[in-house]
Structure 1
Amino acid sequence: MIMTIHEVSAPPRSDGSALTEASAEEWLRTTLFRPGPRRRAGVELEYVVHTRPGPPRHPHPDELRPARSEAEAQFSFNRFTVEPGGQVELSNTTPAPDIATAIERTAHDLAVLREALARHGLRAVGRGTDPLPSPPRVLIEPRYAAMERYLDRWGPAGRVMMRRTASVQVNVEAATHGRSDTAERWALLHAVGPALAAAFDTSGGERQRTWLALDPARCRPPHLRRGESPPSAYARWALDAPLMVVRRPGPDWSAPPAVSFRTWVRGGVPSLPQPTLDDLAYHLTTLFPPVRARGHLEVRYLDAQPARWWRVPAAVVPALLDDDRAAAATGAAGERVASLEDPWTRAATVGLADPVLCAAARGLLEAAAESLDRAGHRDLAALTADYLSCRPVDPTPQEAEPC
């Protein structure tokens, strides 16, 4: 069975039998990087929600609930979820044949959501981090309490991430049918990540700095050893990542400190039963690298965008991967970014004021616009060119449209 975009968000079927280390590694390698049709894609949008009119504040969950019910009843293509700080998320329920279709479907349901929010005195704010002070955590499930306790070890960044951040996430195939391009796609997405993060920064770098301040064992990219493939590296990294949450009866899902999933599967946690495949799948949901493998590749390093501009990062990522000419330009931009010392930190602290990141970002957006035009997505190509001309070097947060 071919694992398609979003299908891996559901837990795998399991008979409840315990895993072995070898079976865990094999399942990770063969499940998280599946081939699919070239150009198939998906989009996920997160937004902070504020009240309107008057001075903005965070709505109480009871204020958000009727707007959510109205919107969900009219959605055609997306599901609606709420994040720990009350942020809302739209995600495609099925993959689209191309990014233009994914964007069209998302735009339809986003309009429904915005109208429902407006009827109840609310608005969706397209910013990478919430400009208001941190709200209380609105999700009280054991998962989020355990996550918060774990992330508090890294200071306030964990609560900022959970309660105040929002993003545009783009989902692309990990590999395409008939081609052995997993390593190339994985490398390209990481190589240009700092430049794209800077190009679409709407939080003054705060969202990126927040992720960089958190547990590097689960929030930094997996390191590929010499000769190692992305599936093997990701499997190794996932098993070596510390446990954050362990599901069990009762309200406390805290994990034993400093215990990796590999230690657990080896039988090194006497207080816990041997893990199952379902436990491994759940562990994967607590890993937050810039690009997450889920059968497809989930690009997570892009800030939420104001107004219509979310379409641009959503279109740019697949345009750079699924067009051979654009992929060549992407590789060249990645080489420029690699010349920087710690480019992720540079993107979060200096952004497009760095000449190397700025030149790389400009080259990437130009290549993406040309790729979109060649694919017949002329509206998206024009919008990408508009974004490039409106915001060539501007690392400041954007509340209104750039132009």
Structure 2
Amino acid sequence: MSDPSGGCADPRTAVTEAEVEALVRGICFKTGPPRRLGVEVEWLVHELRDPRLPVSPERLEAVYAALRTVPLRSALTVEPGGQLELSSPPAASLMECVGTVSADLDAVRAVLRRDGLAIVGLGHDPWHAPRRFLRAPRYDAMEACLDRTGPAGRAMMCTSASVQVCLDAGYEEPGPLGHVRRWWLAHQLGAVLVAAFANSPIAGGRPTGWLSTRQLRWAQIGTGRAGGPVLDADPRGAWARHVLDSPVMCVRRDDGPWHVPDGLTFREWTRSPRPPTRDDLDYHATTLFPPVRPRGHLELRMIDAQPGDDGWIVPLAVAAALFDDPEAAETAYRAVKPLAERAHGMPAPHNPLWRDAARVGLADPELREVAAVCFAAALRALPRLGATTEVVDAVGAYRDRHVARGRCPADDSLDELRAAARGAHPLPQRTHGKDTPS
């Protein structure tokens, strides 16, 4: 973790409570003109011939070894359950980001296809129970910690996937692109994005009663691990307090299993006889999973993985337009202001607004109305951001198919499940996009 003064801090140096607050304030909101954009796309990996068949750990190990030999511009990582993730480098424009990740995904799909595998865009695995693929001290400790709140943690680790949009924090000064406004907007507009892109209504082959089961699982983990801070006029201070008052997931050790304390906050750790180091602080911040996470930039972590080969582009384009185009940002800000009352001052995602978004999506009339306004604003803004006709058309088609009808991809999945129950067609057909055998 870098020192806010610009010098390099020794990661082995113990930190006091006051130093933690100063460090967090200094690094988590790096303000300035919004110039860069990024995306992290997660995918479930399934059998190409039938996604309901489990992929053995040995096959996953072999295909990931092959993928690591492929030159990619995006960082390729593997999640605990074997999900694949590509994280783009920071891009100077929307189309640069889209071009980079699209090319990398083409290369990844080609390797997977040769082994009879495919990546599938779903927010939650509808068929398989959580199963750990990665074995490492971090994930052993994470599993032990999250098990204390029930089974949701294992589902999050092993059976979920998302589209995470990364945006610059914004200007220091007030205005549509100021960091205070963008922080607030992310927590209100985030519920609209949950509703509009919900794509995980099924677990264990049955409807869960929620259109975004992935978001439900995150909420079930609890406020300390997966909740955001209380919003106020000082995002830096709010986040610093949240980091200090959140429970420590684990204390790393050189040998043996990592220690998993029960109920110890980072603030309490700084007051102990053996306080944490700056490296411990940096690591602690990576174990907090709020729907909006400041890491110098802002991570929007609430969007379900999307169906089809290119479905991820739509939420990326919509978010980029609504945050980085001043006119669209102002329209979105005004549209979501009434929604804030439904949050009742409670942090996301543990408030009524976010619960309604995850449970019923755009069947909620107010969320549907706000989504329609925001998509219209995004469509007007995208040409100003240099979006190609193909990207604008994709957002427009999504608006017409889903938003205008008060639907989301989860509704399509439920329709397919009901059709499969009647014997009309097999359920797995839609989820593979172009990789689906006819």
**TM-score, reference length from structure 2:** 0.84
**CA distance, structure 2, for counterparts of residue 67 and residue 13 of structure 1:** 39
Q: Are the counterparts in 2 of residues 168 and 300 from structure 1 also a CA contact under 8 Å?
A: yes
Measured after TM superposition, the shift of residue 257 of structure 1 is 0.9
**CA distance, structure 1, for counterparts of residue 172 and residue 356 of structure 2:** 36
Question: Who is 1:47 aligned against?
Answer: 43
Deviations 1:110-143 (A, max 9, x none): 1111111111111101000011221421111111
- The alpha-carbon distance between structure 1 residues 34 and 55, as it changes in their structure 2 partners (threshold 3 A), is closer
Q: Which amino acid aligns with 1:260?
A: T
- The alpha-carbon distance between structure 1 residues 111 and 55, as it changes in their structure 2 partners (threshold 3 A), is closer
Question: Who is 1:338 aligned against?
Answer: 340
Q: Report the more deviating stretch, 175-184 or 319-328.
A: 175-184
Measured after TM superposition, the shift of residue 26 of structure 1 is 0.4
Q: Report the more deviating stretch, 19-28 or 246-255.
A: 246-255
Aligned to 1:306, the other structure's residue is in SS state coil
Question: Who is 1:59 aligned against?
Answer: 55
Matched, 1:186 2:178: no
Matched, 1:138 2:138: no
Question: Who is 1:172 aligned against?
Answer: 167
Matched, 1:289 2:299: no
Matched, 1:372 2:358: no
Q: Which amino acid aligns with 2:386?
A: G
**CA distance, structure 2, for counterparts of residue 196 and residue 102 of structure 1:** 20
Question: Who is 1:7 aligned against?
Answer: none
- The alpha-carbon distance between structure 1 residues 295 and 217, as it changes in their structure 2 partners (threshold 3 A), is same
- The alpha-carbon distance between structure 1 residues 327 and 150, as it changes in their structure 2 partners (threshold 3 A), is same
Q: Which amino acid aligns with 1:296?
A: H
Matches within 5 A, 1:209-288: 209-225=216-232, 228-267=233-272, 270=273, 273-288=274-289
Aligned to 2:238, the other structure's residue is in SS state helix
- Of 119, 122, 125 in structure 1, the residue corresponding to residue 117 of structure 2 is 122
**CA distance, structure 2, for counterparts of residue 400 and residue 161 of structure 1:** 20
Question: Who is 1:6 aligned against?
Answer: none
- Of 306, 312, 315 in structure 1, the residue corresponding to residue 314 of structure 2 is 312
Measured after TM superposition, the shift of residue 82 of structure 1 is 0.8
**CA distance, structure 2, for counterparts of residue 334 and residue 2 of structure 1:** 35
Question: Who is 2:73 aligned against?
Answer: 77
**CA distance, structure 2, for counterparts of residue 401 and residue 65 of structure 1:** 21
Deviations 1:200-226 (A, max 9, x none): 11112201111111121221221034x
- Of 188, 197, 200 in structure 2, the residue corresponding to residue 200 of structure 1 is 197
- Of 19, 24, 42 in structure 2, the residue corresponding to residue 23 of structure 1 is 19
Deviations 1:305-326 (A, max 9, x none): 1121110101111211111110
Measured after TM superposition, the shift of residue 199 of structure 1 is 0.4
Would you say how many aligned residue pairs link Structure 1 and Structure 2? Answer: 387
Deviations 1:344-373 (A, max 9, x none): 011111111100011111211111111102
Aligned to 1:171, the other structure's residue is in SS state strand
Measured after TM superposition, the shift of residue 179 of structure 1 is 6.8
- The alpha-carbon distance between structure 1 residues 397 and 248, as it changes in their structure 2 partners (threshold 3 A), is farther
**TM-score, reference length from structure 1:** 0.91
Q: Which amino acid aligns with 1:182?
A: H
Aligned to 2:342, the other structure's residue is in SS state coil
Measured after TM superposition, the shift of residue 191 of structure 1 is 1.2
- The alpha-carbon distance between structure 1 residues 397 and 245, as it changes in their structure 2 partners (threshold 3 A), is farther
Q: Which amino acid aligns with 2:157?
A: M
- Of 401, 405, 418 in structure 2, the residue corresponding to residue 390 of structure 1 is 401
Matches within 5 A, 1:90-129: 90-92=86-88, 94-129=89-124
Question: Who is 2:64 aligned against?
Answer: 68
Measured after TM superposition, the shift of residue 55 of structure 1 is 5.9
Measured after TM superposition, the shift of residue 13 of structure 1 is 5.2
Question: Who is 2:436 aligned against?
Answer: none
Aligned to 2:215, the other structure's residue is in SS state helix
Question: Structure 1: where are the runs of 5+ without partners?
Answer: 4-11
Identical columns (%)? 41
Question: Structure 2: where are the runs of 5+ without partners?
Answer: 201-210, 344-351, 414-429, 434-438
Deviations 1:12-52 (A, max 9, x none): 85251110111111000010110244231001000011112
Q: Are the counterparts in 1 of residues 156 and 217 from structure 2 also a CA contact under 8 Å?
A: yes
Question: Who is 1:301 aligned against?
Answer: 302
**CA distance, structure 1, for counterparts of residue 161 and residue 281 of structure 2:** 26
Aligned to 2:68, the other structure's residue is in SS state helix
**CA distance, structure 1, for counterparts of residue 69 and residue 24 of structure 2:** 36
Matched, 1:158 2:153: yes
Measured after TM superposition, the shift of residue 79 of structure 1 is 1.1
Q: Are the counterparts in 2 of residues 168 and 303 from structure 1 also a CA contact under 8 Å?
A: yes
Measured after TM superposition, the shift of residue 61 of structure 1 is 2.8
**CA distance, structure 2, for counterparts of residue 145 and residue 378 of structure 1:** 44
Measured after TM superposition, the shift of residue 401 of structure 1 is 8.9
